Amino acid sequence: MSQILFRHDRLDRAVTFAEYRAQGGFRALETALADLSPDAVQQAVIDSGLRGRGGAGFPTGKKWSFVPRNLPGPRYLICNCDEMEPGTYKDRVLLEHNPHLLVEGMALACYALGVEHAFIFIRRGYELAALNLKSSIAEAHKAGFLGANICGSTFNLDLDVHQSAGRYICGEETALMNALEGIRANPRSKPPFPAVKGLWGQPTVVNNVETLANIPAIVAHGPDWFKALAATPEGAGTKLFCVSGHVQRPLCLELPIGTPLGEIIDSHCGGMRPGSTFKACIPGGASTPYFTRDHWTVPMDFDPVAKAGSRLGTGGIVVFDQTTCMVAATLNLVRFFARESCGWCTPCREGLPFVRHILERIEAGRGDMADIEVLREHVAKLNYAFCALAPGAMGPVEGLLRLFEDEVREHITRGKCPVRLTAKG
């Protein structure tokens, strides 16, 4: 079995509770409650090498270990399903296909962390995923996998689904907690970190949907088995990749983490569309610097992608062919981030619209060579914004200047987009 998340036969409808049970669903939770201590579950996650699948890639077990053991009062787990980046849709596919996996993963995580009340923070537009989750939670309650004295143990757990109002910044874990508390979704300053002082001032862990959905398989099959699923010796587990753009078959698929970029595009997505040649891609969501044909063999795992100059991020791969103007593509991404800035700090609130304005001028053929240096300065300076949104927005701009500076210069010297001129012949 090389698939954990998409192991059920079909993706055209949600797996039913009965089907999930018939294929071993909730057995990991039953086993953990009968035979494993919370610490043993946590240790299995640490040993598995699982890294957060929401973008940052922080080791999941390590994140859990930051929660103080003996603080009085409740502690919380929040599942972050505020997926809102252009080109990233893996958590939606997962929840529309198999919501039970997340419910079981959350139950195991809550058992390990000593949490009795957890939340799923889901983007407003994900209506079907939210419906699936609510019915999966109701079924799990009925079967005794949620609620009081789960499987005859002393463990109690309630799960709530919170449908957010829908802003990109709500994906930032501290802004998410503010939104859940009913106040404006600005990021909070850290420290204190959420593991110590989070939701309503209590210790809180925030994990992504895909991350939590991996936990049942880790508990059921063990950390070594999980590690061995990776395509590289350093990796651990599988990864959902959602591929869009100029490929033959845009799709969301589960592959061993570390599968090379070119293999994903050629073998699994059918290669480029007829008449298209690969020019570049965003390898890991809207905030990641571009890859080109030179990166074809890079293993799609956190460290190799970082070493190659980008980030694995969410695994949202957007593919561009030879007809793509990279200035226009970058402008499109910066427009998104400028619109989604929460406005809390000046570098981001003022800096992103300024960068957008410069890119608009260059794209329209009215740029100046001095603009290139101004863009470079902004790439460096927006690193000092309050949260990761502004540095993330600069990822594609940094990639544009590093990999496609000639194309930017041509826009300026010719006063027109060189790609469109070539396309017109």
Name the site residues for ligand SF4 (rule: CB under 6 A): 169, 187, 341-345, 348-349, 385-387, 389-390
Q: Which residue is nearest to ligand SF4 (CB)?
A: 348
Give exposure, 122-154, as e/b (b: 16+ Cβ within 10 Å): bbeebeebbebbbebbebbbeeebbeeebbeee
DSSP string, 58-73: -BHHHHHHTS-SS-SS
* Of residues 139 and 172, the one with the C-beta less far from ligand SF4: 172
Nearer to ligand SF4, 96 or 398 (CB): 398
Give the Cα separation of 265 and 296 in Å (integer): 9
Three-state secondary-structure class, residue 215: helix
Q: Give min distance, CB of 188 to ligand SF4, in A.
A: 10
Residue position matching structure tokens 């698929």: 253
Cis bond before residue 86 (omega within 30° of 0): no
Which CB sits closer to ligand SF4, 185 or 212? 185
Torsional class of 87: left (φ above 0), alpha (ψ -120 to 50), beta (otherwise): left
Whole-number minimum distance, CB 172 to ligand SF4, in Å? 7
Give the residue with the Cβ less far from ligand SF4, 358 or 390: 390
Q: Which is nearer to ligand SF4, 157 or 390 (CB)?
A: 390
Minimum CB–partner distance for residue 386 and ligand SF4 (Å) = 4
Residue number, 331 or 387, with CB nearest to ligand SF4: 387
Concatenated DSSP letters of 300-362 = SSHHHHHHTTS--TT-EEEEEETT--HHHHHHHHHHHHHHH----SHHHHHHHHHHHHHHHHH
From CA 220, how far away is CA 230, in angstroms rounded? 17
Give 262-287 as a 3 state SS string: HHHHHHHCCCECCCCCEEEEECCCCC
Q: Whole-angstrom Cα distance, residue 199 to residue 160?
A: 14
Q: Which is nearer to ligand SF4, 241 or 386 (CB)?
A: 386
| 277 within 8 A of 321, measured Cβ to Cβ | yes
Q: How far apart are CA 228 and CA 196, in angstroms?
A: 33
Beta carbon of residue 120, minimum distance to ligand SF4 (angstroms, whole number): 23
**Minimum CB distance to ligand SF4 smaller for 372 or for 389:** 389
CB of 175 to ligand SF4, least distance (A): 8
